[in-house]
Every structure is written in structure tokens, then in C-alpha cells.
A and B are shown apart, each in its own frame.
Chain A
């Protein structure tokens, strides 16, 4: 992972780790893998795929264009009371969209000039013992410049 995408990840986590999200995803927001003790439901943020890296003559980095995945993970027993798991995930993801909006501020002199939601990912149901863990999320396109 490049130094620039790491800064984007840090900024994205900071934007999502707010009460509007964590009041619903009570297990917290995690980059990459949640801790073993994290309790569902939670939000997972990962860099999904690299995009274009643009350099000038002399290999100077102009911008990086990556896809990020923001995912709400919940199971039948660990979600908002009296909501279906899918409805819970929808509420969490709506809160995530509101939290990061269409811009991010990076530290260390880097600037994001475009943040765009690309598409929803298909719902993924995962069997676990006597219940189902449901993964819902969306892809975010973030273009960052150093």
C-alpha cells in the first residue's frame, strides 16, 4: 500500500468514526480486519482495488485513484431491535454516506479532490452456526493528490 492511500484510509476512518455511525454500528468502525473481540454489528473499511496512478515526467506522483469498500456487517441477533438485518445495514450505510460526504481532508499536505460513490456491492450472506451474518456495502472512488 502506498503512503498516499494509507493517508486516504486514515482520513476515511476518521470521517466514519463518528457517533452518527457508531451509534448504529455499535461494534465500531474498523480498517481491514476487526479485532477478535469486536462484537457485531460493525463497519469495515478496506481498499478494494487500485485504480490509475498518474505520474509526470521524472516519476513525480500527480494523483492516485482507488476504490474503497465500506461495509456494514451484522447478524440476525446483533442489529437494531425490531429491524431486519438488511434494514439495519441500510441505516448504517446511509449514516456512513452522510459522515464522509463528498470530500475528505488528508493530513500531511495531501488533498483529495474527488470522492464518489460508485456502486453498491451485492448482499453477501454467510452461515455461522445457527444464524446468518449479512454483509452489505458500497464502493467509494477516492482520487487523492500528494
Chain B
């Protein structure tokens, strides 16, 4: 499947892991990110029948669109990618005039261990 995606997918993504710990007062701290996997071939498209929406969050209006981001469940080296929607983020690399795109994972759909179809949100 990675080879198939390599052939058909024009984009690549990096899977970021948030480093989460607890400070001395008991509060959660996000202290950085690391890469779970990089240069993973992927495709992304707006979710069908999802027209996007405005939400009032953090006292301000935010525009949100849901996307379907698809990529193989194994790296080209054969390592299994284990996704955690709570702590992982997807960053699609820039390509030509296309800028970097950040996707927040809402849910992970595992297609029989061959590929992921992640429901993600892209803001503003």
C-alpha cells in the first residue's frame, strides 16, 4: 500500500506527536512536538456533503472545514503507524505554490490495517 500511495499521491505529510507531561502544580503541559513519521504519501479532500461552518470558540468566530486525509498504515520501511487522535496532528508539506496545511484529527478510520482515512478539521 505505501508503494501504491507513492504512485498516486501528490502530497506527503508528517505525523506530529505532542509531548505532554504534568507540571509541579498538577497542570498539563505541552512542551513540544516530535515526529512519529515523516514524508508519508497522502491525499486530502474536503469531506463530502460537508460545507464547513463558523463556530464561536474562544470568544471569537472561527471557520472550520472537515477534511478526509488518507495515507497508508505502514511506512515505506514497513513500520506500522499507530495513530492516536488525541495527541497526533497531521502536517501536509508544501508543494509548489501550495502552502503547508495543518490538520487536526477528529477521528481515525482504520481501513483493515492497509490505510487510514482520518476525519480532520482545518481552521480558518
Is the A/B pair a real complex? Answer: yes
B106 at interface, CB cutoff 8 A: yes
Contact A73 B59 (CB under 8 A): yes
> B104: which of A34, A87, A129, A133 is its contact (CB, 8 Å)?
A129
With A34-B60, A38-B60, A73-B58 known as contacts, the answer to whether A130 contacts B23 (CB < 8 A) is no
How many residue pairs between the two chains, A and B, have CB atoms under 8 Å in the bound complex? 65
Of B24-32, B34-42, B74-82, B91-99, the segment with at least 4 beta carbons within 8 Å of chain A is B24-32
- Bin chain B's interface residue count: 20 to 34
Q: Choose among A35, A36, A77, A84 the residue with the greatest number of B CB atoms under 10 Å from its CB.
A: A84
Contact B29 A84 (CB under 8 A): yes
B53 at interface, CB cutoff 8 A: no
Which residues does chain B contribute within 8 Å of A37, judged by CB atoms?
124
- Bin chain A's interface residue count: 20 to 34
Which residues does chain B contribute within 8 Å of A135, judged by CB atoms?
58-59
* Bound-complex Cα distance A130 to B85 (A): 7
Which residues does chain A contribute within 8 Å of B3, judged by CB atoms?
none
Contact B86 A130 (CB under 8 A): yes
Which residues does chain A contribute within 8 Å of B28, judged by CB atoms?
76, 84-85
Given contacts A33-B59, A73-B58, A126-B57, 20 further A-B contacts (CB under 8 A): A36-B124, A37-B124, A44-B59, A71-B59, A76-B18, A76-B28, A82-B29, A84-B27, A85-B27, A86-B25, A87-B23, A129-B64, A129-B106, A129-B123, A130-B85, A130-B86, A130-B105, A130-B106, A133-B58, A135-B59
Between A and B, 9 residue pairs with Cβ closer than 8 Å are: A35-B60, A37-B124, A77-B18, A84-B25, A128-B58, A129-B106, A129-B123, A130-B85, A131-B104
Chain A interfacial positions (CB closer than 8 Å to B): 30, 33-38, 40, 44, 71, 73, 75-77, 81-87, 126, 128-131, 133, 135
